[in-house]
Chains A and B, each alone.
Chain A
Amino acid sequence: MVSRVDAVLEINGLRKTYRSAFKGPHRAVDGLDMRVEQGQIHGFLGPNGSGKTTTLRTLLGLVRPNSGRMTLLGREVPSALPEVAGHIGAIVEAPRFFGNFSGRRTLRILARAGGVRRARVEEVLELVGLRDRAGDRVKTYSLGMKQRLAVASALLKAPRLLILDEPANGLDPAGIREMRDLMRGLVEHGTTVVLSSHILGEVQQICDSVTIISRGRRVAHGAVDSVLRAQDKGEFLIRVADHERAAQTLRHAGFQITTERDHLMARGVADPAIITETLAAHKMWISELTPQRPDLESVFLQLTGTVPEPGVTRQVGESAAAFGHGAK
């Protein structure tokens, strides 16, 4: 799927192996590909330990990759990082600030180091809703407030690309909604947002496109709908008066049926009309027949639950085959 829109973030074949004296080498990112287009909110999804933070750190020059090519805003990084850094706002992992400074002072020092005018500090404090607590020491902030402060710091430069690692962590539902609105607002002004998460509920609602990774490799990517469609297994929920008989009848007719407490689930259904027809032929009348569109959450669980097992040979060109890997 080649797009005419420019990629603001592109990763090809990124590998990173952490070498630790005590634990031995650990492959955190294993040939990752990723592409984020301008003006999108892109979800970077994967379970804990799948390499999201490592990838983002590598992009930002904090970690040296073993191999791979990366570009940000069309420039090769990390070599061109000093030039593009002015247009990138980022928070990586848990927001960690110096606890004894107030939120405002923290931002002012950063603003000064980055040559950002002082008034901008008040603007971003307002934007993330920290205005009233800006004078308090960061130590006294809740996790959610620290998260907001982190986002504020990332927004200081009015970035073209905003990279947020697990920004929803520690936010209450209202905070998550505010954050979502904030991001929508940013995107309307032309900012591209990349946000990583291992919690998918929010991401599904806010993202235009996603990259799903597992064990350091991409297992799915693209627009949210297309990822979902690719994972559609033709599941239908069926309610009838007599479950047992209906299940037997349908199994007899070759359907894959599981019985739940008050309904049946049919899998691999190409045309639901056949279900209606089969049951009607046996004088059973369907009270409900609902297609089960996969939500991102279940897709995510499936995709990341089908990772190659350790010991199984890792395949070359993994990303190309990613969708194929989805079904069990």
Chain B
Amino acid sequence: MRLFAAEWSRLFARRFTRMMFLIVILLLALIGGGIAYSSHVPTDAARAKAKVEADRQRAFLTQQRARCEEAVRNPRPTPSPGSTAGTEPGTPGTEPGGPPGGELGPVSTPPPGVTCAEYFNPAEIDDASFLPSTFGFAREAHDLVLVFGGIFAMLAFAVGASFVGAEWSSGSMMNLLIWRPRRILVLLTKLFTLLFGLAVTGALLAAAWVAAAYGIARYRGEVGRVTQGSLTSLGLDTARALGLALAAAAIGFALASLGRHTAMAMGVAVGYLLVIEVGLNIVLRLTEVPKVERWFLSSYVQAWLDKKAQFVDFTPCRYAEGDCAPVEWSISMDDSAVILGVATLALVAVSVIAMRRRDVA
């Protein structure tokens, strides 16, 4: 407990910790400010204008649908023999939702299996699409939490690494061990303090961030439909983002403790990004390894934050002639929890074992 109290005051007395928090807060403020600046509450005039615009669009689609149905009923002979009725999807034609008015070119027909009513559907046109951009809390809060999670995870990694790395390289770890000659206790207390401190500050920051998003929506955008369910979901998003940050902190801590220097953790992080996420990625893609994404932590991070990450594997199409089905696959949140959790725990375990036996000299 005494150690915890000492570590706690050390954590927040450190300039690096304070600087990092300052930077993160400034960054979040900048993002929030940008959103607030670009978001506008729709005025009645703007709404009316958007409705006119949307109505024109809907009318156009209704008309196109009628022409489409007509064309399907009476297929016109086409110049190129062998091709079936209508134009192939993707050939130049009128796209759904394209600019209305002017010449009515040849109508495009939907791909097989899609009806004209589905292809030209006026109900899909939303007035909101014709309004100047409006920040919607219900719509976009999830994404903002992800942004927060990413930024805070980077802070956590750096603070975690420096919290123990600077202790090693400055020699104060040695002082501390002379003072309290229980190595594992000292290291784990430090780690626990770090994680606890980041969890508390992270939760506070996240709450402030969501509140700020709500404020922006309330005064410069629209809140939208916020239900008990959506709030719970947002809370879970935040919890997962914080969980990711704590894992990042533990990894940074373990690496810096192993290397006895903050730079060690930073170096490994940069090295990992360059060698694995970029280098290996290129190599694996060139050699057409199936489901490449599964080899990269970033995919699991994405899946963890987003509950699920979807990927499409095109490698089966490599030598396929004609039709081929790309494989759709995904990483689930649970897969990610296992992978990220095991990686984090393994690193921490290694750093504890190293702490047990090494010479502090």
Interface, chain A (partner B; CB < 8 A): 18, 53-54, 57, 60-64, 78, 81-82, 85, 90-94, 96-101, 105, 108-110, 112-115, 153
Contact indicator A64/B357 (Cβ below 8 Å): yes
7 contacts between A and B (CB under 8 A): A18-B359, A57-B359, A60-B178, A61-B181, A62-B174, A63-B360, A113-B6
Contact indicator A112/B2 (Cβ below 8 Å): yes
Residue of B nearest to A154 (CB): B178
Give the interface segment out of B9-17, B76-84, B202-210, B229-237: B9-17
Most chain B CB atoms below 10 A, which of A62, A64, A108, A113: A113
Asked if B45 lies at the interface with its beta carbon under 8 angstroms from chain A, I say no
CB-CB under 8 A from B174, the residues of chain A are 62, 92, 96
Asked if B133 lies at the interface with its beta carbon under 8 angstroms from chain A, I say no
Docked pose: A325 CA to B342 CA in angstroms: 60
Contact of A97 among B13, B171, B181 (CB under 8 A): B171
Contact of B13 among A18, A94, A101 (CB under 8 A): A101
CB-CB under 8 A from B129, the residues of chain A are none
Residue of B nearest to A153 (CB): B175
CB-CB under 8 A from B10, the residues of chain A are 109
CB-CB under 8 A from A18, the residues of chain B are 359, 361
Distance in Å from the Cβ of A80 to the closest Cβ of chain B?
A: 10
CB-CB under 8 A from B9, the residues of chain A are 108-109, 112
Which chain B residues in 224-257 approach chain A with CB under 8 Å?
none
Contact of A62 among B5, B167, B177, B180 (CB under 8 A): B177
CB-CB under 8 A from B176, the residues of chain A are 110, 113
For B178-202 the 0/1 string (1 means CB < 8 A from A) is 1111100000000000000000000
A99 and B170 in contact, given A63-B359, A90-B178 (Cβ under 8 angstroms): yes
CB-CB under 8 A from A90, the residues of chain B are 178
Contact of A113 among B14, B15, B166, B180 (CB under 8 A): B180
Contact indicator B361/A63 (Cβ below 8 Å): yes
Residue of B nearest to A53 (CB): B361
Distance in Å from the Cβ of B258 to the closest Cβ of chain A?
A: 15
Docked pose: A98 CA to B10 CA in angstroms: 10
Residue of A nearest to B3 (CB): A113
Most chain A CB atoms below 10 A, which of B7, B14, B166, B181: B181
CB-CB under 8 A from A82, the residues of chain B are 180-182
CB-CB under 8 A from A91, the residues of chain B are 175, 178
Distance in Å from the Cβ of A187 to the closest Cβ of chain B?
A: 21
Q: Which 5 residue pairs spanning A and B have beta carbons closest together?
A: A96-B171, A113-B6, A62-B360, A112-B6, A81-B181
CB-CB under 8 A from A57, the residues of chain B are 359-361
Residue of B nearest to A83 (CB): B181
Contact of B177 among A61, A108, A153 (CB under 8 A): A61
Distance in Å from the Cβ of B45 to the closest Cβ of chain A?
A: 57
Docked pose: A232 CA to B236 CA in angstroms: 82
CB-CB under 8 A from B167, the residues of chain A are 98
Residue of A nearest to B14 (CB): A100
Docked pose: A96 CA to B175 CA in angstroms: 8
Residue of B nearest to A78 (CB): B181
A64 and B172 in contact, given A109-B6, A110-B6 (Cβ under 8 angstroms): no
16 additional A-B pairs beyond A57-B360, A92-B178, A113-B5, beta carbons within 8 Å, are: A57-B359, A63-B359, A63-B360, A82-B181, A85-B179, A91-B175, A91-B178, A96-B171, A96-B172, A97-B172, A100-B14, A112-B6, A113-B2, A113-B6, A115-B2, A153-B175
A105 and B179 in contact, given A62-B174, A64-B357 (Cβ under 8 angstroms): no
CB-CB under 8 A from B179, the residues of chain A are 85, 110, 113-114, 153
Docked pose: A193 CA to B174 CA in angstroms: 20
Contact of A112 among B5, B181, B361 (CB under 8 A): B5
CB-CB under 8 A from A112, the residues of chain B are 2, 5-6, 9
CB-CB under 8 A from B181, the residues of chain A are 60-61, 78, 81-82, 85
CB-CB under 8 A from B171, the residues of chain A are 93-94, 96-97
CB-CB under 8 A from B360, the residues of chain A are 57, 62-63
CB-CB under 8 A from A100, the residues of chain B are 14-15
A105 and B13 in contact, given A98-B166, A112-B2, A113-B2 (Cβ under 8 angstroms): yes
CB-CB under 8 A from A108, the residues of chain B are 9
Docked pose: A63 CA to B358 CA in angstroms: 7
Docked pose: A108 CA to B10 CA in angstroms: 10
Distance in Å from the Cβ of B154 to the closest Cβ of chain A?
A: 22
Docked pose: A81 CA to B175 CA in angstroms: 15
Most chain B CB atoms below 10 A, which of A53, A97, A100, A112: A112
CB-CB under 8 A from B182, the residues of chain A are 82
Contact indicator B2/A64 (Cβ below 8 Å): no
Residue of A nearest to B7 (CB): A113
Distance in Å from the Cβ of B185 to the closest Cβ of chain A?
A: 9
Distance in Å from the Cβ of A213 to the closest Cβ of chain B?
A: 17
CB-CB under 8 A from B172, the residues of chain A are 96-98
Docked pose: A284 CA to B10 CA in angstroms: 76
Residue of A nearest to B358 (CB): A64
Contact indicator A114/B14 (Cβ below 8 Å): no
Docked pose: A160 CA to B14 CA in angstroms: 32
Docked pose: A61 CA to B360 CA in angstroms: 9
CB-CB under 8 A from A98, the residues of chain B are 166-167, 170, 172
Docked pose: A60 CA to B359 CA in angstroms: 11
Residue of A nearest to B8 (CB): A112
Docked pose: A90 CA to B177 CA in angstroms: 11
Docked pose: A129 CA to B166 CA in angstroms: 28
Most chain A CB atoms below 10 A, which of B7, B177, B180: B180
Residue of B nearest to A137 (CB): B15
Distance in Å from the Cβ of B354 to the closest Cβ of chain A?
A: 13
Docked pose: A61 CA to B6 CA in angstroms: 22
A97 and B180 in contact, given A64-B359, A110-B175, A114-B2 (Cβ under 8 angstroms): no
Docked pose: A173 CA to B324 CA in angstroms: 87
Residue of A nearest to B172 (CB): A98
Distance in Å from the Cβ of A275 to the closest Cβ of chain B?
A: 53
